[in-house]
Amino acid sequence: MVHSRNGSGLTRSLGKIAVLAGLGLSLGAPIVGCATEALEVEAEDVGSLGLKLEVADGVTLQTVTYKITKGDYQKSGTIDVKDAPTISAKIGGIPAGNGYTIELSSSSVPDGIAFTGSAQFNVTAGGTTSVSVRLRGAGTSKNGSVNVSGTLNVAPVIDELTVTPLSVFVGGEVTLRAVAVDPDQGPSSLTYYWSTTEGVIDDPLSPTAKLTSQSPGTALVKLTVSDGETITTSETSVTFVAREASSGAEPPDSDPPNILLIIADDLGSEAVSLYPDLAGNSGQVPIPNIENLAEQGLVFDTVWASPMCSPTRGTIISGLYGYRTGVTTAGSVLPTDTVTVFDRITADSPSNYGQALFGKYHLAGNSSTNLQHVRDLGIPVFRGYMGATLGNPFNWTAVDINGPSQFIPDYAATALTDFSVDYIREHESTRPNDPWFVWLAHSQVHQSSNYVPPEHLHSVDVGNLRVGQQSNTTVVYKAAIQSLDTEIGRLLEDVDLEKTTVIFIGDNGTVASLKDPGSGVRDGKTSVYEGGVRVPLVIAGKGVTRRGREDALVTSTDLYATILELAGIQVGHINNSYSLKPLLTDESASTGRTHSFTELSNGTTNRRYALRDTRYKLVVNLQERGLYDLVADPLERNNLYSSPAHAAVLASLQAEIAELKVHGPAYFP
């Protein structure tokens, strides 16, 4: 509150009402006025009105007349503006109250065009109110007109969407038929795009197509019609029914499983023998222990991670895409207020889980000492290393949030396996009735950690290279993969699969220079093409009654909801995460995911991202734009982005990006 001193002592200064027409800085102008006041008021109960007006260039005013009215109250006067660069005035002594009207009038010189305007306003003692007054000229001397020409594009109309039958046996055909019209016949010819969450559509760009599926389940079928500028969509569901009921299901088990998450570094799908169709010229190295695990569960065929390690770890621990946490490249720092999978298990699981993380962390930037960050993410036990790599895997230091750092003379894959085995044994000895969750993040087969492994861990011929020698070559990369498999096998010897659900995943694609020539994916790590984001995923053990392969769309975010549901926390779909748990027992189940998304950036710069449905993929790689048919063109060689025939496909994927933007920062996408 502002006070001023007068003859009778301190009194509150009068409130001001600003009445604006245009915007201008003001200098004082002489005011002449009078008032007929029906109300008697004290100084405390009155306010002032400030006028600031600005007229168009070329309009000259000599005076502005004002009249303020409310019931019997009237105040009027003139403002001399002939010598003022802007029109301004302060009109005081107005009683506090609501429902005042101010009327302004003036005439321009020399042409005498009359300008008038009015507005309603209130006066609050000690307050300030802004009111806008628009002065309108009655003549035409200073008025003009603008001719605007253009067209209004009317969206296509889907007159008919026929899907028959809506329920069919697995292997049967569903006929899709659409009829659409474009009321304004433009700007381009209509294009069609049928998409589905299950099965295969034979001709997705035709108004008439066939849908088939080799597995039971409910498919969401969506039609997008584009005129090159606007789109119209319609969707329906089709159910594929198994001819014979599955006998693989087991009665539900109320006891929660132990959960073992194993993350392999820089391991793309094409490097793993579980995906023989993607193998390069020299073939894939045998991994008998992971292969044996896969035989006892499910191999997922269409899995995306982020193109680098920190973003993938951020998606798993939070269930959020990187743009929502800020973890969009290697070395990004995950905010400590993120609700992590460890937080949720501690707070919400009906079981008293023991939890631990061993190995690579890399969620606190490139710091090697910020152990408080680990604690802040709700991780009670951590032993490993903080940054991108541990350097020489034969000579490294493990940090521990519950004890001193320790020099480790053992090969890293062996030591991290030992850490995990020791924890599991101690937990099961001291807390036999409580389950455990172990997150094991191996340094293998990270490029900078590719030293020739101990001979007893692999059978790869590395030539004249000696054990412990660093060599970033494909042959040593394969030896590292096999040594990792050997140590995973040793760990699984201590794990009871009747009590434990095991999840094995790669954190990003293979480094391009280490890829086997001729492999079935484009590019490698740091790329949003398939070679950078397509990774292996196996889930086996307790609660996994299905065997074989699953082609549902999966991203690394989905492990968040999956782990929570395994731990007894019912979430289904949370954040950007869809639980895979229904797929583990029911071939006809769906997660609800219709599109996968991945990205790599430095926030607002160097942005790369991709989004796909079950067939088509949109790629933004810095300034390049791409659209690829992953069924007909798995190597992403034929860019369809500018293809008129694929306008509806492109529009459909861009609409999904727009949906993601709702929860994104200003720069996204």
Same domain, 84 and 118: yes
| 565 plus 469 within the same structural domain | yes
Domain shared by 106 and 36, yes or no: yes
Report if residue 332 sits inside a domain: yes
In a domain, 108, yes or no: yes
* Residue 537 and residue 491 in one domain: yes
pLDDT tens, residue by residue, 215-257: 898 999 999 999 988 899 999 999 988 877 554 445 556 789 9
> What is the C-alpha separation between 279 and 519, in angstroms, rounded?
5
Residue 545, number of CB atoms within 10 A of its CB: 16
Lowest mean pLDDT among 3-7, 53-57, 627-631: 3-7
pTM: 0.75
The distance from CA 38 to its chain's CA centroid, rounded to whole angstroms, is 64
Does residue 666 lie within any of the structural domains?
no
Indicate whether 372 and 428 sit together in one domain: yes
Q: Domain containing 360 — which CATH number?
A: 3.40.720.10
The most distant pair of C-alpha atoms in the chain lies apart, rounded to whole Å, by 108
Cα–Cα dist 451/154, whole Å: 62
CATH code for position 216: 2.60.40.10
Task: Single out the residue in 87, 104, 137 at which a domain terminates.
Answer: 137
Q: What is the DSSP string of 522-587?
A: SS-TT-SSHHHHB--EEEEETT----EEEEEEEETTHHHHHHHHHTT---SEETTEE--GGGGT-T
Q: Running DSSP on this structure, what letter comes out for residue 513?
A: G
Identify the sign of the CA torsion 316, 322, 325, 328: positive
Report how many domains make up the chain: 3
Model pLDDT, residue 489: 97
Q: Is the dihedral of CA 550, 659, 154, 627 positive or negative?
A: negative
Does 322 lie in the same domain as 186?
no
Do 467 and 557 share a domain, yes or no?
Answer: yes
Q: Could you tell me if 228 and 297 lie in one domain?
A: no
In a domain, 635, yes or no: no
Is 647 inside a domain boundary?
Answer: no
Residues 470 and 574 in one domain: yes
Do 98 and 223 lie in a common domain?
Answer: no
Least confident piece of the model among 27-41, 76-90, 171-185, 281-295: 27-41
pLDDT digits (tens, 9 = 90+) for 25-35: 233 344 445 55
Provide the residue range defining the domain that includes 330: 258-507+525-612
Q: Would 660 be classed as within a structural domain?
A: no
Mean pLDDT (whole number) for 411-429: 97
Nearest to 495 by CA among 484, 487, 483: 487
* Domain shared by 81 and 180, yes or no: no
Least confident of 230-244, 422-436, 470-484: 230-244
Instruction: Give 501 or 6, the one with higher predicted confidence.
Output: 501
Domain ends where: 108, 137, 166?
Answer: 137
Residue 375: inside a domain: yes
Residues 380 and 500 in one domain: yes
Question: Where does the pLDDT of residue 508 fall: very low under 50, low under 70, confident under 90, or very high at 90 and above?
Answer: very high
Torsion of CA 475, 480, 486, 489, to 10 degrees: -120
